[in-house]
């Protein structure tokens, strides 16, 4: 049984890509086979996973969408890059913006990706989809084929305010397209636990959402080490294995594995 986790938040810079990379690495370290899908035209995930120039890369998820739209056969393993022993990557590039627009006139446009994901997911224990910062048709496609949605949110006032729109979209997708969709949890990221401000935000999120939606008991601390990993094409477990961010992502991995 495989589990598909969409990592989504319409706000950028909240830690979606960092969480995708490190949760994938954590799950892989525990012996799971993981497919990570870059569903953002900015291709940060592809870059973080060693693809220096994604815009020169072919094929990518863009070609998969093109084939799905044209109802063409997709060869086994098409566009998937072996990243490490247990991690495969389906990269993205800037062409995804145009590909997303091309979806708009397709019949059942919200379900285009689902057929593809259903056909590859059994090769993996986990499929992680790093969504783009919008609630557009690509993100809805990711939610429509996911078992759960993990919501990273930066521990600050405005990002937390923006959660409402995302949660509404998740429940709309659940009602109309994907009844099995659940929220894996809200994950507070870039937490500076020395400040009262961070403590207030954590308390507020638990108070406002905690009764109806799982809020992860672990938060990801803010650390310059985490920022550096993005440029190093390494996971936090390779770059700073003894640090607090590695410890947090390791605990997050355990919680996610227990949930499934
Ligand atoms: P998103 O995918 O939501 O846009 P990213 O994962 O790319 O967010 O993170 C945004 C920026 O914040 C990146 O530069 C990243 O390196 C940095 N970052 C992510 N997590 C942390 C953290 N725990 N501490 C410090 N910086 C972080
Ligand atoms: Mg990102």
Which residues are within 5 Å of ligand 2 (an ion), measured at CB?
A: 16-17, 44
Average pLDDT over the chain reads: 96
Q: What is the DSSP string of 175-232?
A: HHT-TT-EEEEEEEESB-TTSHHHHHHHHHHHHHHTTTS-B-S--PBP-HHHHHHHHH
Residue of 135, 198, 227 to test ligand 1 pocket, by largest number of atoms within 8 Å of CB: 227
Residue of 6, 8, 13, 92 to test ligand 1 pocket, by largest number of atoms within 8 Å of CB: 13
pLDDT digit string, tens, across residues 183-241: 999 999 999 989 999 999 999 999 999 999 999 999 999 999 999 998 888 999 999 99
Q: How many domains does the chain have?
A: 1
What residues pair up with 64 in beta bridges, in sequence order? none
Q: Which domain holds residue 244?
A: 3-259
pLDDT in tens, the chain (260 residues): 899 999 999 999 999 999 999 999 999 999 999 999 999 999 999 999 999 999 999 999 999 999 999 999 999 999 999 999 999 999 999 999 999 999 999 999 999 999 999 999 999 999 999 999 999 999 999 999 999 999 999 998 777 888 999 999 999 999 999 999 999 999 999 999 899 999 999 999 999 999 999 999 999 999 999 999 988 889 999 999 999 999 999 999 999 999 98
d(CA 110, CA 169): 13
Q: Is 18 touching ligand 1 by the criterion CB < 6 Å?
A: yes
Q: Which residue owns the Cα nearest ligand 1 atom 26?
A: 227
Q: Is 115 touching ligand 1 by the criterion CB < 6 Å?
A: no
Q: Let me know how long the chain is.
A: 260
Residue 67 sits in a domain whose CATH number is 3.40.50.300
């Amino acid at each position: 049984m495989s589990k598909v986790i969409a990592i989504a938040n319409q706000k950028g810079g909240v830690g979606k890509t960092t969480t995708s990379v490190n949760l994938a690495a954590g799950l892989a370290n525990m012996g799971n086979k993981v497919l990570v899908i870059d569903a953002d035209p900015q291709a940060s995930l592809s870059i973080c996973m060693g693809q220096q120039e994604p815009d020169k890369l072919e094929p990518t998820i863009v070609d998969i969408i093109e084939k799905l739209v044209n109802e063409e056969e997709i060869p086994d393993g098409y566009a998937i890059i072996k990243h490490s022993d247990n991690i495969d990557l389906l990269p993205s590039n800037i062409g995804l913006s145009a590909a997303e627009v091309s979806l708009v006139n397709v019949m059942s446009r919200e379900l285009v990706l689902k057929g593809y994901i259903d056909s590859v997911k059994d090769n993996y224990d986990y499929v992680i989809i790093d969504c783009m910062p919008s609630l557009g048709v690509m993100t809805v496609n990711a939610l429509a084929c996911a078992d759960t949605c993990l919501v990273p949110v930066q521990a600050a006032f405005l990002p937390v305010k923006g959660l409402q729109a995302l949660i509404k979209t998740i429940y709309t997708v659940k009602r109309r397209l994907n009844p099995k969709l659940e929220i894996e949890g809200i994950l507070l990221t870039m937490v500076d636990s020395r400040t009262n401000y961070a403590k207030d935000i954590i308390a507020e999120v638990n108070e406002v959402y905690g009764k109806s939606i799982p809020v992860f008991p672990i938060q990801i601390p803010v650390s310059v080490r985490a920022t550096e990993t993005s440029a190093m094409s390494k996971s936090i477990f390779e770059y700073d294995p003894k640090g607090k961010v590695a410890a947090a992502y390791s605990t997050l991995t355990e919680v996610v594995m227990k949930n499934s």
